Structure 1
Amino acid sequence: MDSLQDGYMLRNGVKIPCIGFGTWKSPDDVVCESVKMAIQAGYRHIDGAAAYANEAGVGKGIRESGVPREELFITSKLPNADHGYEKAKKSFDKTLEHLGLDYLDLYLIHWPVVIEHKDDYEQDILDTWRAFEELYGAGKIRAIGVSNFMIEHLEILKNHAKIMPMVNQVQLHPQHPQEEMAAYCKENQIVPEAWSPLIQGQAFKRELLKEMAAKYDRTVAQICIRWIMQKGVIPLPKASSMERISGNADVFDFEIGEDDMEKIATLRTYGMIGEEPSIPRTRQVVGF
């Protein structure tokens, strides 16, 4: 990968850019400006979700960016409260309305097990996914996938669905490398994405990452993002200033050595943020 416009080819031939711009926890006015700055800085992949409650701002930023819609790759996610075949289809229509778009490039099930369906989560996943397959077949979504799915959840779709997810967006960073998950995704032609690549700010507290930043004459953020990229995973960094937005994308002219890649992964001892996705999530999305 040599630039923000480079990317991976999904199994259906759709190209997904190698770095996405995150929009979590940004109110409409802030996210609108952030999205415009990101697109100005060269980002073409914008990652959002209905649960972030800022799709109107994201859509406004896209329209005001001046870049043609077809040059952008826009993602959103189904809210936890809208699992199920009929509810998922209606929720998708709301997302398009809020964004002011005619189609999405990628739509994800945000969370695999939700509290309303904790006792029948397998059927819930399949019913919800059936709506995704239908929307994809109708041409309203260019690619479909999931978010926070563990291997056990992906196996449900692998064994019963017509179409396997094309993307799985998960928590993946130096404290939670997810080697087994990344390997599974690659074996099954699923492109993995990494939310919170900067460990929700914890990266800046880790002395090892500070040492690596000094060694490579880079920022801690750039080390984390590059580390994820070298693992064949798409990072989704978030920022609100042009300096940081541009800095997060300035990761194409250096490479982390193999020994240092392994050393960075020793931060796994700190563990993941929050709970495993097998824990039922309530209607309120906390984190990603």
Structure 2
Amino acid sequence: MADDPIALFSFTDYSLLEKPNWIGLDNFRDLFRDRFFYNSLKVTFLYVLTSVPLRLAAALFIAMLLAKNIRGMSFYRTLVYLPSLIGGSLAVAVLWRNIFGVDGFVNAVAGWFGIAPKNWIGLPETALGTLVLLSVWQFGSAMIIFLAGLKQIPKELYEASSVDGANKFRQFFHVTLPMLSPVMLFNLVMGVIGSFQMFTSAFIITEGGPINSTEVYALYLYDKAFANLEMGYASALAWILLVIVALATTINFVASKYWVFYETEGGGGR
């Protein structure tokens, strides 16, 4: 078994310290009886379903603000993008843990308004929310792509809609969003893929706690592989993650024909 492809490790009992022992589908059978596996799936899906829409909304909102032609806009764009340059680093994760700690900045600000301090990271009902906020704060990459998309929308469309009596609100929903829909699809797909693989924030900030409330899938996989040395089991987990991400991506592309507008096709779904 030592010379077998890495892809076959999911069918073995392998601890890194000994030669792999072929056990067939036992890892997958054990996996679907593992309550911690289901918990990691639940936490991960909750994280994806909250962080991705909020991050896209924040990115689009900031992109629209930065699309205006005012003096010094290049400086503002650089300033807004900076968090995304350092957002995935260990230092930022440690900083975030301190900000939301009992003696952190968030509680200090809350104290100004007479609100009692709260252990945001230590409570199951709020710990995952701190990770979601960190993800939303790292909107820079999606924002840059939205900004490029906004620059490509012909001004004539806004002028024509204005002549027809459309206000800013209607222009946003009938001009901006349809024209940005291909860009939005790209950001959505990339955001979903990245969120399913989220690891550093959960590992550094909460370590999967409290009570496994932030033990996302990648962190659970890491624990099985390197803490418990169950490399075969971790390989099976990795294959399941691959299937989930592939299915999510396929669903996004299939559903896109109903809402993504391609100018050359005359509209979404056609």
Q: TM-score under structure 1 normalisation?
A: 0.19
Q: Which has the higher contact order (CA 8 A, sep 6+)?
A: 2
Compare the two structures and name the one with the higher strand fraction: 1
Compare the two structures and name the one with the higher helix fraction: 2
